Amino acid sequence: GSRASGRDSRARRADMALLCRVAAGSLRVSRSQRLVAAAVRASSAGAQYQHILVEKKGERGNVGFIQLNRKKALNALCDELMREVSLALDEFENDPEVGAIVLTGSEKAFAAGADIKEMVDKTFQECYAGNFLTHWNHVTTGKKPVIAAVNGYALGGGCELAMMCDIIYAGEKAQFGQPEILLGTIPGAGGTQRLTKAVGKSLAMEMVLTGDRISAQEAKASGLVSKVFPTSEVVDEAIKCGEKIASNSKLIVAMAKEAVNGAFELTLAEGNRLEKRLFHSTFSTNDRKEGMNAFVEKRKANFTDQ
C-alpha cells in the first residue's frame, strides 16, 4: 500500500513538473507571439502610410500634422493617398491631446490635382456605381479644425482638398485653380460649389470655364485664403494657428466650427437658430463656466474639454 501511494505521489509530482514545463513553454510561446505581434504592429504602423507623413507638432504636441508625400508626382491625389489622409484624420480626431490639424504638401506643390492615370480608363458606370471621389468628403466631417498650409500648386483636386479644410494659409508663390475643363471634364470634389461660395460667381465661373489659375494674393483678395506668408514660413504659421486653437476648449471649438459651417448649409434664419442652440449649449459645460470665471477673476482659463 505504501509503495502504491509513493508511486502515486511520484506520478503526481511528474505530472505537475510536466504541467509546469508546458505552462512555461506556453508562456514562452505566448511571449514570443506577443513580441511578434508587437513587431507586426510597429511595422504596420510605419507601413500604414505610404504616401503621407504623420506626426504631432507644436510645443505641447497638440497639433496634428499631415504632409502629402508623393513629391515625384507633385502630390497627385491617388485613391490610396486620400484613404491614408482619412485614416490619419481619424487618428487625430480620436487623440484627446490634439486640438487642431495642419494639412500640407511640399514647397513645390500642395497637390497638383487628382491622379489622372487612375481616371483615364474609368467608365460612367464605374464612377456612378462606385460613387467615385465621394470618400474625399471625409476631410470635412471631423469636429477638429483642419488648417491647409498651401505652397506651390493647388490645382483641381488639390484646390478642392484645400477648400475642404476650415482655414487656408498660403505661401506667397501658391497658385490655385480648377483646370478640369482643359481635360474635358469638370471639378468632381466640390470645386464648383465651395469655390463659388468662397470667391463669388464671376471669379469661380471664370476659373472653372477657362482653367485659369489665381495667385496667392488674388486668392486672399477674393476671400479664398485668410493669410499669405513667405514660402518658408507658411507651415510654421499654420502650426501656430493650430496651437492657438488647441489652447481653447476642444468641446467649444467643435461647437464654434459647427456653427460657422452651418452658414454654408442653412438659410440665415435656420443658421441663427443653430447658433443660438449651440450658444445655449455652452452653458451646460464646465469650460464655459471656467472661461467666464477666469475673465471676471482676471486670470488665465484652465479648460478641461468638459
Catalytic position from the list 160, 237, 243, 275: 160
Question: DSSP code of 247?
Answer: T
Output the DSSP codes for 107-150. SSEEE--B-HHHHTT--HHHHHHTTTTGGGGGGGS-SS-EEEEE
Which triple of cell numbers denotes residue 225? Answer: 485664403
* Residue of 84, 180, 237, 243 with catalytic role: 180
Pairing relationship of beta strands 175-177 and 213-215 according to DSSP bridges: antiparallel
Q: Which among 150, 133, 42, 145 has a CA at the least distance from the CA of 89?
A: 145
Given a contact cutoff of 8 angstroms between Cβ atoms, the answer to whether 74 and 108 are in contact is: yes
Count CB neighbours of 296 within 10 A: 8
Contact of 191 with 198, CB cutoff 8 Å? no
Decide: 225 and 219 in contact? Cβ < 8 Å.
Answer: yes
Clarify whether 160 is annotated catalytic: yes
Q: Tell me the torsion sign for CA atoms 29, 30, 31, 34.
A: positive
Q: Out of 105, 152, 157, 177, pick the active-site residue.
A: 157
C-alpha cell at 224: 479664398
Task: Say which of 100, 112, 114, 149 is annotated catalytic.
Answer: 114
Burial of 151 (0-12, 13-18, 19+ CB in 10 A): buried
114 is catalytic: yes
What phi and psi, each to the nearest 5 degrees, are found at residue 190?
100, 0
Q: What is the largest CA-CA distance in the chain?
A: 107
Catalytic residue ranges:
114, 157, 160, 180
